[in-house]
Amino acid sequence: MEEEKRIMLVEDNSDDVTLTLRALKQANILNEVVVAHDGVEAMELLEDASRPLPTVVLLDLQLPRLSGLEVLQRMRDTDRLRRVPVVILTSSREEQDRLRGYDFGANSYVQKPIHSGEFLEAVSKLGMYWLLLNEPPPPVEVDPQ
Amino acid sequence: MRQHPETSPADTFRIEELETILASSPLAIVTTDLDGTVTGWNPAAEELFGRTAAEMLGTQVPSGPQLFWPHMREDVARLEDGRSVARELRYARRNGRTVDLNLAAAPIRHQGELTGAVAIFTDVTERKAAQAAVAVRLRQQEAAAGFSHGALVHTDVAELLGEAVTIVAETLEVEYAKVLELLPGDAGLRLVAGYGFEPELIGTARVGEDSQAAFTIHSDGPLIVDDLAAETRFHPSPLLTSHDIVSGIGVAIDGSDSPFGVLGAHSTSARAFSEDDLTFLQTIANVTAAALRRLQADAELERRVEQRTAELRAANDELEAFAYSVSHDLRAPLRALDGFSLALVEDYGPRLGDEGQLYANRIRAAAQRMGDLIDDLLTLSRLTRKEMDRTRVDISALARQIGEELRRVDPDRDVSVEIEEGLVAGGDDLLLHAVLQNLLANAWKFTSTHPRARIEFGSAQIDGERVFFVRDDGVGFDMNYADKLFTPFQRLHTQDQFPGTGIGLASVRRAVGRHGGRVWADAAVEHGATFWFTLPERTT
């Protein structure tokens, strides 16, 4: 009955992908991580009905093609994706980004720390919280159209 | 003069004397008896009234052929009462010209009995004309002065020109006045302001290159037209002929490079315009030209301010974009540097050896420091970009709160922080917080090598100006390097002595500068430092 919990990481920077995956591994979070390297790929993966929805999306903001905020907007405009928890994980601490992130329906906003120790801790806490502590929304029944 | 029957030689002499006076007087002298019969008419009277004594003697005043003394009966009555008579008269000569006369009358008595009157006429036509001319000139000068005054404050070209034509028409007492603007190329001129003309013509009516207006622009001085129908120098435009205009005057209105156009006054009756009329019209044209130049300069200035503002806005937007990209893009490689260095130590530590691990840690420390620099630079940039939000700020409270925070983070130090109470300044809360945060944190940092320290925040009056200061008794600095203090990234101590990015005081200067204030410091090595700053109260 219990569905396999998985993380979607939307991140164009391969360094950050590697470091994030390593941090999750170090925190003993061994769930599947689906990586999308830009906004368009992220939407394709999310909209593919044959794929199970991620338990949480870790979303970078500055992405090629479709930006993180645009991905977030589209998710919130799509019935099936409306309630999927989204954590904005970005280098930016700009007020504008934070405002719009929450306005568009982000569930959390985390600035990537530069310090590796802090980064490890942040990723580990995020994994723990969203995979173990947080109760995900119930699955949505979508009319096939 | 009538001869009386008994006349002595002395009387005869007296009479001859009087007749000589009468004959040679430049003033017209007329005598009448009580009935108004003319009894005397001297040569000056013949000259003035154009009537000979032979014609006039024996005729009745005022029913005679010429009404030269219309109020004779009334005046004689006044003389009988012992009152004086002085009148101003207008007399129409036979040739149609009128003359202005002053009349003074006196009684003639014979043995105490009133027998007649003597009337003395002075021709004051020229004097009156001169007075009238002076009055006209005064009125014109007054009108020109009034117009000049208004021209200084007008901000609208149409309004200015409208006022010019109105004042010209009203002062010169003509039915029409107009301003024509010279159009570029050979397009002729366009009516841009008019008095007496139909409103729909203004802004639309045009006259050609061969018109009176065009001729005025090309002629050096003012143009005078006595009779438009007889004009041969130019082709009267329909604009004038359709309004039955007969005579007029026009002058050019100067522009910056080429003439702006023409100012004209037009009358539907034959009119001889005076030199004063021309001077007046020229004055109005000159004032109009000056006002137009001012308006043009104002418009140019405004355009430049707008352009400069747009440039500044663009620069600010660029700065914003730059700051954004700094905050985002520069961090990512740092995270990689730090992350992979750590991964290297953690995953391959044994193979790196002690020295290799040390190097990896130095890479991490450098990345960390660059991260701090980026953060501080962003703070500095934010202090520049932030909109000023001026309120009354209790800066004593602000300083106290920052002091408590410093103590909380570093509770083991023996520092006395003394803050003057009740200091209030007008300014932006966040910017002032940045000023005090940086200065107090610096004071805290640069006293850290002393076992006990004293930090003071207060104010003083220097040359009548209120100056705030943050003073410490820490390590101070060499005043030779004081000019470097407020420049970004300039530091007077090594990282090992006192860590820092060199952005703090640059931020202070920027935040104080945005309030219109100044900041400076004085210090001596090992004798502490004092940082002064002003926050001018805004008067507007």
Residues in chain A with CB shorter than 8 Å from the CB of B385 are: none
Cα(B440)–Cα(A115) distance, rounded to whole angstroms? Answer: 27
CA distance, residue B502 to nearest chain A CA (Å): 20
**Overall average pLDDT of the B473-482 stretch:** 86
> What is the percentage of chain B residues whose pLDDT exceeds 90?
37
Q: What pLDDT digit, counting tens, does each position of B56-66 carry?
A: 888 887 654 45
Cα(B113)–Cα(B59) distance, rounded to whole angstroms? Answer: 23
Residue A140 falls inside a structural domain: no
Cα(B1)–Cα(B16) distance, rounded to whole angstroms? Answer: 10
Put simply, the answer to whether B324 touches A92 (Cβ < 8 Å) is: yes
Helix (H) or strand (E) segment spanning residue B130 = helix B125-153
Could you give all domains of chain B from N- to C-terminal order, each with its CATH number?
A: 9-123 (3.30.450.20), 130-299 (3.30.450.40), 386-533 (3.30.565.10)
Cα(A111)–Cα(A88) distance, rounded to whole angstroms? Answer: 8
B-chain residue closest to A92, CA distance: B328
Residue B357 has pLDDT above 60, yes or no: yes
Which chain A residues have any C-beta within 8 angstroms of a chain B C-beta?
A: 13, 15-16, 19, 22, 61-62, 90-94, 112-117, 119-120
Taking each helix axis as running N to C, give the angle between helix B504-514 and helix B331-385, from 0 to 180 degrees, rounded to the nearest 10.
30
**Burial bucket for residue B33 (CB in 10 Å: 0-12, 13-18, 19+):** middle
Q: Say what the pLDDT of residue B2 is.
A: 53
Put simply, the answer to whether A112 touches B331 (Cβ < 8 Å) is: yes
| Listed residue (A119, A9, A50) closest to B334, CA to CA | A119
**Burial bucket for residue B502 (CB in 10 Å: 0-12, 13-18, 19+):** middle
Put simply, the answer to whether A92 touches B371 (Cβ < 8 Å) is: no
Cα(A88)–Cα(A101) distance, rounded to whole angstroms? Answer: 7
Residues in chain B with CB shorter than 8 Å from the CB of A93 are: 327
Residue A84 falls inside a structural domain: yes
Put simply, the answer to whether B343 touches A19 (Cβ < 8 Å) is: yes
Secondary structure (3-state) at B97: coil
Q: Please, which pLDDT band fits residue A142 given cuts at 50, 70 and 90?
A: low
Q: Say what the pLDDT of residue A1 is.
A: 38
Q: What pLDDT digit, counting tens, does each position of B370-420 carry?
A: 888 888 877 777 787 777 888 999 999 999 999 999 999 889 999 999 999
Residue A144 falls inside a structural domain: no
Q: What pLDDT digit, counting tens, does each position of B327-355 carry?
A: 777 778 888 888 899 888 888 988 988 88
Residue A145 falls inside a structural domain: no
CA distance, residue A19 to nearest chain B CA (Å): 6
Are B340 and A15 in contact, with CB atoms under 8 Å apart? yes
* The token pair that represents B174 in the structure block: 């003509």
* The token pair that represents B179 in the structure block: 């301003």
Cα(B386)–Cα(B3) distance, rounded to whole angstroms? Answer: 114
Cα(B189)–Cα(B263) distance, rounded to whole angstroms? Answer: 12
Q: What pLDDT digit, counting tens, does each position of B191-240 carry?
A: 999 999 999 999 889 888 778 888 888 887 888 888 888 888 888 888 88
Residues in chain A with CB shorter than 8 Å from the CB of B338 are: 114-116, 119
Residue A119 falls inside a structural domain: yes
Residues in chain A with CB shorter than 8 Å from the CB of B329 are: 62, 91
Cα(B253)–Cα(B179) distance, rounded to whole angstroms? Answer: 9
Q: Which CATH number characterizes residue A105's domain? A: 3.40.50.2300
Residue A91 falls inside a structural domain: yes
A-chain residue closest to B330, CA distance: A91
Cα(B104)–Cα(B64) distance, rounded to whole angstroms? Answer: 20
Range(s) of the domain holding residue A112: 6-133
A32-36 and A6-10 strand pairing: parallel
Residue A49 falls inside a structural domain: yes
Put simply, the answer to whether A94 touches B324 (Cβ < 8 Å) is: yes
Count of pairs with CB atoms under 8 A, one residue in A, one in B:
59
Cα(B111)–Cα(B277) distance, rounded to whole angstroms? Answer: 58
- Which sign, positive or negative, has the C-alpha torsion B224, B230, B236, B239? positive
Residues in chain A with CB shorter than 8 Å from the CB of B322 are: none
Residues in chain A with CB shorter than 8 Å from the CB of B341 are: 116
Put simply, the answer to whether A16 touches B336 (Cβ < 8 Å) is: yes
Cα(B429)–Cα(B398) distance, rounded to whole angstroms? Answer: 9
Per the structure, how many domains does chain A have?
1
Residues in chain A with CB shorter than 8 Å from the CB of B383 are: none
Closest partner residue to B338 (CB to CB) among A13, A94, A115 is: A115
Residues in chain B with CB shorter than 8 Å from the CB of A113 are: 335
Q: For residue B496, give Cα distances in angstroms to A8, B446, B493.
A: 43, 13, 8
CA distance, residue B516 to nearest chain A CA (Å): 27
**Overall average pLDDT of the B512-526 stretch:** 91
Residue A51 falls inside a structural domain: yes
Q: Say what the pLDDT of residue B370 is.
A: 86
Task: Kindly provide the ipTM of the predicted complex, given to two decimals.
Answer: 0.73
A-chain residue closest to B364, CA distance: A115
Are A7 and A131 in contact, with CB atoms under 8 Å apart? yes
Side-chain half-sphere of A81: how many Cα atoms within 13 Å? 24
Side-chain half-sphere of B171: how many Cα atoms within 13 Å? 30
Sheet order of strands, B176-182 included: B206-207, B189-195, B176-182, B261-267, B247-253, B223-225
Q: Please, which pLDDT band fits residue B540 given cuts at 50, 70 and 90?
A: very low
Closest partner residue to B335 (CB to CB) among A93, A94, A114 is: A114
